[in-house]
Amino acid sequence: MLDALLTELTRILTGLSVRVLDPAVLDTPSVYFANHGSHFDLLAVRAAMPDSLRPHVRPVAGREYWQAGRVREFLSRRLFNAILIDRRFSRRLADDLRQAVQAIHDGDSLLVFPEGTRGRGDQETVGRFGSGLFRLAQKRPDTPFVPIYLRNLNRLLPKGEIIPVPVLCTVTIGNALRKEPDEPRADFLARLRDSMVTLMKETP
Amino acid sequence: MDSRMIIAMGSILGVLLIASGITRHLGKQARQPKQVKFVAQIAARVRAWWMMCVVFSFAILLGPTTTIVLFAVMSLLALREFITLLPTRRADHRALLYIFFLIVPIQYLLIGMGWYGMFVIFIPVYGFWIIALRAVLSGDCENFLHRTASIQWALMVSVYCISHVPAIIKLNLPGFDGTGAMLLLFFIVVTELCDVMQFVFGKAFGRRKIVPTVSPNKTVEGFAGGVLAAGLIGMVLSFLTPFSIWAAGLIGLTIGVLGFAGDVTLSAVKRDLAVKDYGTLLPGHGGVLDRIDSMCIAAPVFLHLVRFFYTPGTTGF
């Protein structure tokens, strides 16, 4: 119920406009990856998902942030159904990867923000992608990777601000990509990044 | 409730029902794709009017406060649509917050309070400087003039001009129960009907384009038809107003011309910003701003005309 309320509030505040290039992508468990510029990004992507799919799209988020405090802990665990990974210690990498792969195995989808920390600038660009997506693709090569482009959420609530300015926001969900056999990391990540840049240019 | 109001609203309901009926009939008859598209456009407009009619009727019936709040909400929606298109930067965030959460409420509160003097200068003087100064404090001078000026435009169009519509209800007309509710109904019906008639006449008789570089669909014939229709409708609805039939006709013509002016001005802005519609709130129609753009110049002028000629000696509304 809290979920429905948050979804509705997000839609009203952002006048959310959702474009899905290929509705069939929503039928398969996928790894969704989106650009990151605002605290509202997660809420916007969730609000863009159909009601039936929303609980099964699990955001991959940093444990050190989401377990710092009761409200965040509640939100990440109960509301968002997040997979928490440890960004500080690379020793935990294997565990984190296993969690993520297990989720896909169980039929859930993942939501990843591969740009890492949110950008500060006023320009609209897509940052460099971290390598997590590649490692996931290596473990489960036939997983579809679906780009999501979020527009204007960084204007709604820029980094460092608390009160949002109502601005019309758009979520564009693109076509799925899969890793080619023997595709090197740089090429794969570049291809993923390019697909997001294409979405960015196509979003009206 | 005043019997004149009942007659007017009943007539509007009747017209809407006829319009819906005609649209449905046309829909069944349409064969070629061009006809089907035309009917679809008309149907979308009729649906939008039903919605507007219901909303406005409720507001007008429930009284001045509801009407003022309704238009405050519309201002916020229109403002959001406009701001979205502007090249605002991070530095403008706080100034924009001031607009949405301070300036809009204050402007509409001023209407409720009946403080006319402050109502007319608050945004052009104080709003203008508050926004500019808050942006200055953020220290970002890149594109400063463009950002500040375009934000002021958004404020003037979406808030200042639109707020003159519910202000009509505060006019203290002698012999009208002290309320301008019927006058508000008059204004809205004339404006919207003029809009429709421009579209219909344009499709039926349109030949010479009037401002092709701004709005390719507008024609001299459409403009003339719309303005004349506004004059006629003004005369028909003069019973809702303190105007004589001829004065009402003249005022109707004026509203028609100014409605066109507001419409093309906002079209020029859209052209510059390379967008087709301001938003997607109304399916098939665009956003709130696309619907109320014809009221932007018409409302303030209408308010001033009525106030000057028909409410002698007033210092309030």
3-state secondary structure chain A: CHHHHHHHHHHHHHCCEEEECCHHHHHCCCEEEECCCCCCHHHHHHHHCCCCCHHHEEEEEEHHHHCCCHHHHHHHHHHCCCEEECCCCHHHHHHHHHHHHHHHHCCCEEEECCCCCCCCCCCCCCCCCCCHHHHHHHHCCCCCEEEEEEECHHHHCCCCCCCCCCCCCEEEECCCECCCCCCCHHHHHHHHHHHHHHHHHHCC
- B87-132 pLDDT, tens digit per residue, is 999 999 999 999 999 999 999 999 999 999 999 999 999 999 999 9
Q: Say whether B89 and A122 touch across the interface (CB within 8 A).
A: yes
Which residues of chain B make contact with A166, given a CB cutoff of 8 A? 76, 79-80, 83, 100
- pLDDT grade, residue B43 (50/70/90)? confident
A107 exposure class (CB count in 10 Å sphere: 0-12, 13-18, 19+): exposed
CA distance B89 to chain A (A): 6
Ramachandran category for residue A157: left, alpha or beta (phi over 0 → left; psi -120 to 50 → alpha):
beta
CA distances from B250 to A143, B229, B247 (A): 69, 11, 5
C-alpha distances in Å from residue A106, one per residue of A84, A144, B209:
17, 15, 62
Would you call A15 and B281 a contact, using CB atoms and an 8 Å cutoff?
yes
Question: How large is the average pLDDT for residues A34-50?
Answer: 93
Distance from C-alpha of B251 to C-alpha of A100, rounded to nearest angstrom: 69
**Interface touch A166/B80, C-beta < 8 Å:** yes
Which position has the higher pLDDT, A119 or A176?
A176
Confidence (pLDDT) at B107: 98
Nearest to B97 among A15, A152, A165 (CB): A165
ipTM of the complex: 0.89
Of A152, A158, A168, nearest to B279 by CB-CB distance is: A168
Question: Is the model more confident about B123 or about A204?
Answer: B123
B84/A122 CB distance under 8 A: no
**Cα gap A103→A58, rounded to integer Å:** 8
Give the tens place of pLDDT for each residue, A71-86: 888 888 888 988 888 7
Q: In chain A, what residues touch B279 (CB-CB under 8 Å)? A: 15, 168
Minimal C-alpha gap between A76 and chain B (Å): 28
Check pLDDT > 70 for residue A120: no
